[in-house]
Structure 1
Amino acid sequence: MGARDTIRTAVRDVVPPAGLTRALAVQAMVYAVGNGLFQAGSAVFFTRALGLSAAQVGLGLSIAAGVSLLGTVPLGGLTDRYGPQRIWVLGLVLDAALFASYPFVGGFAGFLAVVVALAAVDAATGTARQVYSINALPPAERVTAMAYQRSLLNVGFGLGAVISGLVLAVDTMPAYRGMVWFIATVFLVTALFVRRLPKVAEAARPAEPLSRFAVLRDRPFMTVSLLSGLLTAHQTLYLTVMPLWILTHTDAPKTLIAGLVLFNTVLIVLLQVRASRGADTAPGAARASRRGALLIALFCLVLPISGATRGTLTVVVLVAAATLLILAELIESAGTWGLTATLPPATHRGAYVGAYRLGAQLQFLIAPAGLTALGVTTGGWGWYPTAAIFALVGLVIVPAVAWAGRTPRLGEPAPDRAVTPVP
């Protein structure tokens, strides 16, 4: 009976309950099939199918990242003006059209135009998708629903990666064209799915709408945004910095890197919902963010041990370090969802969620180079100041959230709720 209960609980943590939570999770999985397919095969597609050099691809993607960073805040305001569902559907349709145009791209200029447009669309669509989930669900269900979405999102990414492997094995121009057209079709199907989701009553529009960058003046909120954004560096640590460390400072087999990526995917699918419990309030989300930060700091202390071990013990240390970082990712993600669901005001939720995403965008610009320099190129001693940085963020984020909770948001006469995090 105990085993049955365990299995039943595990299934409940992966399969979302019927209703809107399940619908949102299913659309996330379908969308991720297309997104995962392209992420896994994009580098080969750009060089083989479009004939671009590696330098051109890197430059184009860097420019697109800059556009996404600059557009996150003003494009988030479109959600408040036109409604999240409308912006979400429009963004998916534009995504489909842009992907369908890839086979007709000629040269670097055409490639740059497409990736920049995709980055701008993603900045608007990402905010709209999150705001719709917040608006459509009761406060107590928001974080859990986002956890189910992320769990099934990883299932979709896995399926997309498998399809990408088949395309790369065929390695023909018709296969690459078929890949991007298949992705465009997936996005169109997702748009139809989103269009059929329940309509959500919009919050009352304020008499004086915020200017495009006004939310940046909300210092307590932007402080939380930047601190939380730094914690999303767990992605860079897991997918970029740790593999480089394994290759350059350990005797572990290269195949372990692929195994750790699979390990990450499996644990997120199985544990994300369970790890998100208790993060549906601002105090709970702040504590989750703190725990995530301290786990990242602990990872930074354990990983360098693998540089001084040999054989099986190296693999054991690396798996232990990876487990710490996965737990940090699970818990920190829940904290992020809780903060974005509770701190922004209802009347300007799109602008505020867009501004919250700014912290993560900045992390993606500085973390790959900064963390690689500290953790890998120093020979190992750089992991210790890196651990100190994340521990400091963990200690600061709880009082920062309390500060944001005591301070009225722009355009609001008083904060939505008192926030008094419990240590």
Structure 2
Amino acid sequence: MHDEKRSGGLLAQLRRPPGGRDGRIMLLVQFLDRLGTGVWAAASVLYFTFVSHLDAGQVGLLLGVAAVAGIAGSPIAGQLAERYSARTLLMWCHLLRLGTMLLLLVSRDFAALLAVMAVTCLAERGAKTLEMLFATRATDGQRTTYRALARTAMNAGYAVGAGLAAIGLAIGTTAAYQALVLANALSFAVTAALVARTGEQRPDPAPAASEPSVGREASGSSPWRDRGYLRFVLLDVPMSLDDSVLGVGLPLWLITSTDAPHALAPAFLVLNTVLVVVLQLRISGWAEGPRRATAAVTLNGLAMLAGCALLAFGTGGGAWSASIVLLCSALLVSGAELMRSVSSWELAVSLAPERSRASYLGVAGMAQSAQKALGPLLITGAVITAGPLGWLALGGGIAGLSVLQRRGCERRLARMPDLAAGSPAATEGAAAGARS
């Protein structure tokens, strides 16, 4: 029955996604949210340069500080979701982003812009954590399938948003840049209204007093005292560097160290988007459940090692050979991202005790926030500066850490009550329980 349901393909899954009506609404919310974000991401640097009249150093500082501020958004949202409705919190996150985008239009002072962007990133990361929590609570046994559909919707939204931004950037006037900011703000207004139409997402119920613990390390209700879970989150930061490699590393390496044509750079994003649409559902089906998700962790590390090794050894030829190697590397890194997106999502939920899942997922969301803040600095300041050895060190380091993360996850899963018996029957029962 499960295989028949999946065999319907992407369109069938989009018509009848996990979560029913709420699932459909939330997929539309994520599409529209990322559409607006795609518009802003493509235009932000030029907006700050030509409309706000900031120099390059100020723009870099502004975006860096905002990204660091965003790291706090995930745990704050997770902690609040232990007490309040996830739907209400998500609505306020979108409305807060609406307000900051409108303030951006009238802010000219650098300090004011810094505060506006810090709050924007804080609300953005909080919203992403709440979306993750919504899927965990509302999609029952199909959260991995929902995650695949959500990534497809989000990638499509980014692509459409970037296309819309290209129109405004081609016009290049102050009014055109401001129109792009308003388009982003409008997306938050619409998404807040759509979230209001979903069912109420109540906090997870407290367990009975007799409910067994997932292990001595998780005996407390706070993820900050759970060393095993914190190790998982810490290792998830370097495991998420595929994002910075695709968005920063490959384009800069193309420009600075190869003879490949500069026009090839957008192809990395296009290739990544196509692979997500074509393969995400299939890979999510293969990696469903905590046991398979741990196997995907190692595959993520191996794919990153192969992609980085290609960059180290294969881009020293002419334009054609360098172009082929760069595209192959982008293919491997995109494959690593597909594996990581599934394993990180599944394990963040499966390794968390149900009684405190919201706050645990808030801490897990910090891995992506930290990677977005620190990843570009690592790629530009260390990897590319070191040349081929830098790429080898990056790929080898991620591959080694993937082995550590897999072993740590396997040990923690073995201590989970449903998996303690270690038999095939127990494993199947635990996988089913983890989907609920």
Please indicate, yes or no, whether the TM-score normalized by the shorter chain is above 0.5.
yes
Match of 1:131 in 2: 133
Distance 2:151 2:273 in 1: 10
Match of 1:219 in 2: 227
Distance 2:418 2:56 in 1: 49
Match of 2:23 in 1: 21
Offset at 1:86? 1.1
Offset at 1:101? 1.6
**Which range moves more in the overlay, 376-385 or 327-336?**
376-385
Q: Structure 2: which 5+ runs fail to align?
A: 1-6, 210-217, 425-436
Offset at 1:417? 5.2
State which of 301, 324, 333 in structure 2 corresponds to 1:293. Answer: 301
Match of 2:249 in 1: 241
Q: Does 1:336 align with 2:344?
A: yes
Q: Residue 95 and residue 120 in structure 1: after superposition, are their counterparts in 2 closer, same or farther (change >3 A)?
A: same
Distance 2:420 2:11 in 1: 33
Offset at 1:321? 1.2
Distance 1:51 1:254 in 2: 27
Match of 2:61 in 1: 59
Structure-2-length-normalised TM-score: 0.86
**Which range moves more in the overlay, 10-19 or 87-96?**
10-19
Offset at 1:405? 2.5
Does the 8 Å CA contact 1:227/1:393 hold for their aligned counterparts?
yes
Offset at 1:345? 2.4
Q: Structure 1: which 5+ runs fail to align?
A: 1-7, 409-414
Offset at 1:280? 2.9
Q: Does 1:360 align with 2:368?
A: yes
Distance 1:163 1:421 in 2: 53
Structure-1-length-normalised TM-score: 0.89
Distance 2:221 2:47 in 1: 37
Match of 1:84 in 2: 86
Secondary structure of 1:376's counterpart equals helix
Letter in 1 for 2:127: T
Distance 1:74 1:11 in 2: 34
State which of 121, 124, 128 in structure 1 corresponds to 2:123. Answer: 121
Does the 8 Å CA contact 1:103/1:177 hold for their aligned counterparts?
yes
Number of residue pairs aligned between Structure 1 and Structure 2:
406
Offset at 1:9? 6.0
Does the 8 Å CA contact 1:220/1:403 hold for their aligned counterparts?
no
Does the 8 Å CA contact 1:92/1:190 hold for their aligned counterparts?
yes
Match of 1:36 in 2: 38
Distance 1:117 1:420 in 2: 46
Match of 1:106 in 2: 108
State which of 49, 52, 61 in structure 2 corresponds to 1:50. Answer: 52
Match of 1:170 in 2: 171
Secondary structure of 1:309's counterpart equals coil
Q: Residue 123 and residue 66 in structure 1: after superposition, are their counterparts in 2 closer, same or farther (change >3 A)?
A: same
Letter in 1 for 2:130: A
What do residues 37-56 of structure 1 show as CA deviations (whole Å, max 9, x unaligned)?
A: 00011111111122222212
Secondary structure of 2:388's counterpart equals coil
Letter in 2 for 1:68: G
Offset at 1:10? 5.5
State which of 277, 280, 285 in structure 1 corresponds to 2:288. Answer: 280
Offset at 1:157? 0.7
Offset at 1:313? 2.0
Match of 1:197 in 2: 198
Offset at 1:373? 4.2
What do residues 373-415 of structure 1 show as CA deviations (whole Å, max 9, x unaligned)?
A: 443222312222222211111211221112332457xxxxxx5
Does the 8 Å CA contact 1:232/1:360 hold for their aligned counterparts?
yes
Does the 8 Å CA contact 1:38/1:183 hold for their aligned counterparts?
yes
Distance 2:157 2:131 in 1: 17
**Which range moves more in the overlay, 168-177 or 371-380?**
371-380
**Which range moves more in the overlay, 319-328 or 361-370?**
361-370
Does the 8 Å CA contact 2:290/2:346 hold for their aligned counterparts?
yes
Does the 8 Å CA contact 2:37/2:184 hold for their aligned counterparts?
yes
Distance 2:171 2:117 in 1: 25
Match of 1:3 in 2: none
Match of 1:384 in 2: 392
Q: Does 1:157 align with 2:158?
A: yes
Distance 1:234 1:13 in 2: 30
Q: Residue 247 and residue 420 in structure 1: after superposition, are their counterparts in 2 closer, same or farther (change >3 A)?
A: farther
Stretches (4+) displaced over 3 A: 8-16, 205-208, 371-375, 415-422
Letter in 1 for 2:162: A
Does the 8 Å CA contact 1:289/1:335 hold for their aligned counterparts?
yes
